[in-house]
Amino acid sequence: MKLGCFTDSCSEREKRANIPWSDIEAMLLHHGAEISEGGGSRVRIALNGVRAVFHRPHPRNETNPGAVASMQRFLTEAGIGVEKKS
């Protein structure tokens, strides 16, 4: 999975809105996130001391542009990103 769409290296134009939620969860688990179920479609995520609640997309399993932007902010706050090229 390409992480660029979740990190600062991704421009607004490049952000995708069709990322399967299962890919997002796999990426979060890879980075050591704790994921637990909330009520309804809510998913609680804790990563590097940062906590957030996201809504699992439904009825489709793909994220929308707002969810991608929210996940990008969450990852930035949690210290997950790419190194800047010099």
- Residue 6: the pLDDT is 55
Q: What pTM did the predictor assign?
A: 0.76
**Average model confidence (pLDDT) for the chain?**
81
Contact predicate 78/72, CB 8 Å: no
Backbone phi, psi, residue 3, to 5°? -80, -15
CATH number where 31 lies: 3.30.160.90
In a domain, 85, yes or no: no
DSSP labels, 13-28:
GG--S--BHHHHHHHH
Contact predicate 36/44, CB 8 Å: yes
In a domain, 86, yes or no: no
In a domain, 83, yes or no: no
C-alpha distances in Å from residue 5, one per residue of 34, 40, 62: 21, 27, 14
pLDDT at 10 over 80: no
Its domain, for residue 55, covers: 3-77
In a domain, 11, yes or no: yes
Residue 48 per-residue DSSP state: T
Average pLDDT over residues 9-14: 50
In a domain, 49, yes or no: yes
In a domain, 40, yes or no: yes
pLDDT at 73 over 60: yes
Domain count for the chain: 1
